[in-house]
Structure 1
């Protein structure tokens, strides 16, 4: 039912300050900002690259540590 509101012209009181797009719920605006408008609160302490999600930062940090938890089945 909540999803249907996104298609039925529901009231959209939450506006993105970056692009001006309106959203029916605060969580939809937050998701939009993180994915589309560069709200990236997780920063790599080594190179400064910024990420939307903490998990993405953890994966990226392997670049600096050399940690390779997944081995190739062919070459090891």
Structure 2
């Protein structure tokens, strides 16, 4: 009877060890997952900032083109006005 009791206690202790190990592994994995999600968000933020920078450059280039077109338009308008 005592042997059976000891065997059951040993089994239960093994089970408890496995349970504690799995719980700690799950906690560790959840921490790693949180860090990965944070890094992913940071990477996404960097990508968005890069895209904003690219669009700002493109906007500046378009503004320069628009300004030169406006100057040319005004020049042509004044030329045609003088000719008429």
- Higher relative strand content: 1
TM-score (norm 1): 0.27
Pick 1 or 2: higher relative contact order, CA cutoff 8 A, min separation 6.
1
